[in-house]
C-alpha cells in the first residue's frame, strides 16, 4: 500500500526518470489522497491524452523496476475486450492502471479537462504534471471501473464531499451516453441504487438519469 507521502515521493522519482515532459489526469484512490479522503491506496489510476505520453511514463516506471501485469483479476472480463482497457504495471504491492483517451468507453471530456480540482507538478530534468479530477468525475469513473473497493471509495467521497453536485454529475453521465458510451449509464444507475442504501439521494436525480418518461 502507498501512503500520500509515499505517493508524492514516488511521483517525484518518476519525474526524474522521464525523457520528456508528461501530463496526465488523476482519478481513483490516488486522487482521493490529494483530497485527503483516503490514507493509502494500492492502485494508482492515471489517464493520458495520448499513447506517447503513456509510453514515456511506462518507460520511467520500468526503470524503477515495475513490470507489466495482467488486469484479468482486477476488471470485469467483458470490459477488458475494449480497446481502451488499461495497461497495468506492478511492483511489490503498488500498481499503476494506465488509460489513454478513455476509461473503457468513457471519454476524457472537455469538461473534465477544464474543471479540475488541482494541478500538481513534479519537476526534475522533466516535469510530470498531474491534474486531479473533480469528485463527480472520480465517482463516475469508479462506477465504470467496478473494481474491488470502488463502491467503498464512492461511498466515502459522497459522505465527505458536502458539495457533491448531483446535477453536474448526471449531466456528464448523460453527455457520455450521448457520445456512445454503452456502459456508463447502466454502471451509474447500479451504483446509485446501491448508494441509496447508505446515503440520501433525492428522487429527482434518479428521474433525471432515467429521463422524465421513466418511472
**Look-up: residue for cell 507521502?**
5
Full 3-state SS string of the chain? CEEHHHHHHHHHHHHHHCCCCEEEEEEHHHHHHHHCCCCEECEEEEEECCHHHHHHHHHHHHHCCCEEECCCCCCCHHHHCCCCCCEEEEECCEEEEEEECEECCEECCHHHHHCEEEEEEEECCCEEEEEEECHHHHHHHHHHHCCCCHHHHHHHHHHHCCCCCHHHHHHHHHHHHHCCCCCHHHHHHHHHHHHCCCCCCCHHHHHHHHCCCCC
Q: For residue 199, give every residue at least 6 positions away whose Cβ sits within 8 Å of its Cβ, in sequence order, or none.
A: 155, 158, 159
pLDDT of residue 42: 85
Per-residue model confidence (pLDDT) at position 138 = 98
What pLDDT, on the 0 to 100 scale, is given for residue 212? 61
- Count of other CB atoms within 10 angstroms of residue 86: 24
How many whole angstroms separate alpha carbon 26 and alpha carbon 8? 13
**Tens digits of residue pLDDT in 33-68:** 999 999 999 889 999 999 999 999 999 999 999 999
Predicted local distance difference test score (pLDDT) of residue 73: 87
CB 22 within 8 A of CB 56: yes
Burial class (CB in 10 A: 0-12, 13-18, 19+), 205: middle
The domain defined by 2-210 folds into: Beta Polymerase; domain 2 (3.30.460)
List the domain boundaries for the chain.
Answer: 2-210
Which stretches of the chain score pLDDT less than 70?
212-215
Rounded Cα–Cα distance for residues 185 and 133 (Å): 20
The x, y and z cell numbers of residue 117, run together, are: 480540482
d(C-alpha 56, C-alpha 134), whole Å: 25
Residue recorded with cell 503513456: 54
pTM to 2 decimal places: 0.94
Amino acid at each position: 500500500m502507498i501512503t500520500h507521502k509515499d505517493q508524492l515521493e514516488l511521483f517525484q522519482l518518476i519525474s526524474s526518470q522521464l525523457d520528456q515532459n508528461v501530463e496526465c489526469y488523476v482519478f481513483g484512490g490516488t486522487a482521493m489522497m490529494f483530497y485527503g479522503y483516503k490514507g493509502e491506496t494500492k492502485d494508482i489510476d492515471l489517464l493520458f491524452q495520448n499513447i506517447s505520453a503513456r509510453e514515456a511514463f511506462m518507460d520511467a516506471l520500468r526503470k524503477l523496476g515495475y513490470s507489466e501485469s495482467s488486469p484479468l483479476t482486477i476488471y470485469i472480463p467483458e470490459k477488458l475486450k475494449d480497446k481502451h482497457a488499461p495497461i497495468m504495471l506492478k511492483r511489490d504491492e503498488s500498481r499503476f492502471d494506465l488509460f489513454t483517451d478513455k476509461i473503457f468507453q468513457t471519454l476524457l471530456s472537455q469538461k473534465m479537462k477544464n474543471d479540475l480540482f488541482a494541478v500538481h507538478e513534479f519537476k526534475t530534468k522533466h516535469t510530470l504534471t498531474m491534474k486531479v479530477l473533480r469528485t463527480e468525475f472520480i465517482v463516475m469513473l469508479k462506477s465504470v471501473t467496478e473494481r474491488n473497493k470502488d463502491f467503498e471509495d464512492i461511498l466515502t467521497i459522497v459522505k465527505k464531499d458536502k458539495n457533491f453536485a448531483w446535477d453536474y454529475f448526471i449531466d456528464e453521465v448523460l453527455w457520455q451516453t450521448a457520445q456512445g458510451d454503452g456502459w456508463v449509464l447502466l454502471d451509474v444507475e447500479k451504483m446509485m441504487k446501491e448508494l441509496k442504501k447508505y446515503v440520501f439521494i433525492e428522487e429527482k436525480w434518479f428521474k433525471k438519469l432515467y429521463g422524465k418518461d421513466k418511472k
